[in-house]
Amino acid sequence: MATPPSVIGTQNKKGQTYTDPWKLLHEAPRTPSFFTGSEVIKEAVRRSSCDVMIAYPITPQSEAAALIGELFAEGYIGDYFRGESEFAVMSQCAGAAFGGARVFTTTAGPGTMRAMENFPMWAGARLPIQMIVTCRGINSPLSIQPDTLEISYLLNTGMLVWHAETAQDFFDWILKGYLVSEEPDVHLPLALCCDGFFVTHTKDVVNLTPADMCLPPYDPYRSPVPCMDMECPPVRMMRDPFVMKSNYISYATHASWQQEIWAAIERSRKHSIHWLNGLIDTENVDAEILIVTSGTAVSQGREAIRLLEEEGVRCGLVKVKTLRPWPEDEIREATKNAKHIFVPEFNVTGWLAKEIRATIPNPHRVHAGPHVCGGMTMPPEIIVSEIKTALGMKSFSLAGRGS
Amino acid sequence: MSKERIQISEDLYDIMPSDYQDLVKSATYGKEDRGWKDIGSSKELIEQHSLCAGCPESMAFRYILASLPNPEDTVMVGSTGCTSLVFPMVAVHNIHSLFGNQNAIASGLKRALSVRFPGRVKDVVVLAGDGATVDIGLDMTLQAWFRQEKFTTICFDNELYANTGGQESGLMQKGFVAKMAPVGKLFDKVRLPEIARESGCHYVVNCTVSKPSLVEKVIRNAVHVAREIGPTYLQLYTPCILEIGKNSMEGLQEMRDSEKPTERFAYKEYVSEPAKQLLAELAAKDKERKAAAKQLASQASA
The string of pLDDT tens digits covering residues A338-366 is 999 999 999 999 999 999 999 999 999 99
Name the nearest CA neighbour of A115 among A51, A54, A197, A198. Answer: A54
What does R_g of chain B's alpha carbons equal in angstroms? 20
Note the pLDDT of residue A236: 62
A235 — pLDDT class (breaks 50, 70, 90): low
A234 — pLDDT class (breaks 50, 70, 90): confident
From chain B residues 103-132, the ones with a CB under 8 A of any chain A CB are: 104-117, 122
Q: Which position has the higher pLDDT, A397 or A274?
A: A274
| CA–CA dist A294, A378 (Å, integer) | 13
Topology of domain A280-390 in CATH is Rossmann fold (3.40.50)
| CA–CA dist B42, B37 (Å, integer) | 9
pLDDT digits (tens, 9 = 90+) for B219-255: 999 999 999 999 999 999 999 999 999 999 999 999 9
Whether B201 has its CB under 8 Å from any CB of chain A: the answer is no
pLDDT digits (tens, 9 = 90+) for B277-288: 999 999 999 999
Q: Quick check: bond before B212 cis, omega within 30?
A: no
Domain A17-222: assigned CATH number: 3.40.50.970
Note the pLDDT of residue A150: 97
Residue A403 has pLDDT above 80, yes or no: no
Average pLDDT over residues B31-41: 93
Average pLDDT over residues A270-289: 98
Asked if B141 and B196 touch (Cβ cutoff 8 Å), the reply is: no
Q: Quick check: bond before A29 cis, omega within 30?
A: no
Asked if A158 and A119 touch (Cβ cutoff 8 Å), the reply is: yes
Residue A266 has pLDDT above 50, yes or no: yes
| CA–CA dist A148, A351 (Å, integer) | 9
Residue length of chain B? 302
Interface test with B, best of A230, A237, A243 (most B CBs within 10 A): A230
Q: With contacts defined as CB-CB under 8 Å, which chain A residues touch B84?
A: 241, 243
Q: Give the whole-number percent of chain B exceeding pLDDT 90.
A: 83
Do residue B143 and residue A118 have CB atoms under 8 angstroms apart? no
Angstrom distances, CA of residue A231 to CA of A24, A35, A355, B4, B71: 31, 42, 43, 11, 12
Burial of A117 (0-12, 13-18, 19+ CB in 10 A): middle
| CA–CA dist A345, A373 (Å, integer) | 8
Mean pLDDT, chain B, integer: 95
Q: Which position has the higher pLDDT, A301 or B31?
A: A301
A254 — pLDDT class (breaks 50, 70, 90): confident
A237 — pLDDT class (breaks 50, 70, 90): low
Interface test with A, best of B6, B44, B105, B114 (most A CBs within 10 A): B105
Average pLDDT over residues B4-12: 87
The domains of chain A are located at 17-222, 280-390
Name the nearest CA neighbour of B106 among B130, B135, B136, B128. Answer: B128
Note the pLDDT of residue A388: 95
Note the pLDDT of residue A70: 97
Name the nearest CA neighbour of A333 among A360, A372, A362. Answer: A360
Q: Which helix (H) or strand (E) covers residue A46, if one does?
A: helix A37-46
| CA–CA dist A110, A137 (Å, integer) | 8
- Residue B271 sits at the vertex; the CA angle it makes with B266 and B273, to the nearest 5 degrees, is 155
Q: With contacts defined as CB-CB under 8 Å, which chain B residues touch A235?
A: 20, 91
A239 — pLDDT class (breaks 50, 70, 90): low
Do residue A98 and residue B95 have CB atoms under 8 angstroms apart? yes
Residue A2 has pLDDT above 90, yes or no: no
Angstrom distances, CA of residue A254 to CA of A124, A159, A247, A262: 10, 17, 11, 13
| CA–CA dist B235, B204 (Å, integer) | 8
Instruction: Return all residues near B151 (Cβ < 8 A) that are at least 6 apart.
Output: B106, B107, B110, B123, B124, B125, B126, B144, B226, B231
Instruction: Return all residues near A363 (Cβ < 8 A) that are at least 6 apart.
Output: A356, A357
Residue B94 has pLDDT above 70, yes or no: yes
Residue A398 has pLDDT above 70, yes or no: no
Q: With contacts defined as CB-CB under 8 Å, which chain B residues touch A91?
A: 97-98, 101, 104-105, 108, 140
| B49: closest CA of chain A, how far (Å) | 8
A299 — pLDDT class (breaks 50, 70, 90): very high
Interface test with B, best of A223, A227, A229, A232 (most B CBs within 10 A): A229
Note the pLDDT of residue A244: 65
Q: Give the whole-number percent of chain A exceeding pLDDT 70.
A: 94
What does R_g of chain A's alpha carbons equal in angstroms? 22
Question: Please, what's the largest Cα pairwise distance for chain B?
Answer: 72
pLDDT digits (tens, 9 = 90+) for A161-207: 999 999 999 999 999 999 999 999 999 999 999 999 888 899 999 99
Q: Quick check: bond before A141 cis, omega within 30?
A: yes
B142 — pLDDT class (breaks 50, 70, 90): very high
Cβ neighbours of A255 (radius 10 Å): 10
Q: Which helix (H) or strand (E) covers residue A175, if one does?
A: helix A167-181
A246 — pLDDT class (breaks 50, 70, 90): confident
Residue A255 has pLDDT above 80, yes or no: yes
Average pLDDT over residues A270-294: 98
Name the nearest CA neighbour of B27 among B73, B91, B77, B88. Answer: B91
Note the pLDDT of residue A250: 82
Instruction: Return all residues near A102 (Cβ < 8 A) that are at least 6 apart.
Output: A48, A49, A50, A51, A52, A128, A178, A182, A217, A218
Residue B187 has pLDDT above 80, yes or no: yes
Note the pLDDT of residue A240: 63
Cβ neighbours of B41 (radius 10 Å): 8
Asked if A65 and A96 touch (Cβ cutoff 8 Å), the reply is: no
A399 — pLDDT class (breaks 50, 70, 90): low
Note the pLDDT of residue A249: 81
pLDDT digits (tens, 9 = 90+) for A315-324: 999 999 999 9
Residue length of chain A? 403
Give the least confident one: A70-84, A255-269, B9-23, B164-178.
B9-23
Chain A and chain B share a number of CB contacts under 8 A equal to 155
Average pLDDT over residues B119-128: 97
Name the nearest CA neighbour of A268 among A359, A329, A165, A190. Answer: A190
**Fold agreement between A17-222 and A280-390:** yes
Residue B89 has pLDDT above 50, yes or no: yes
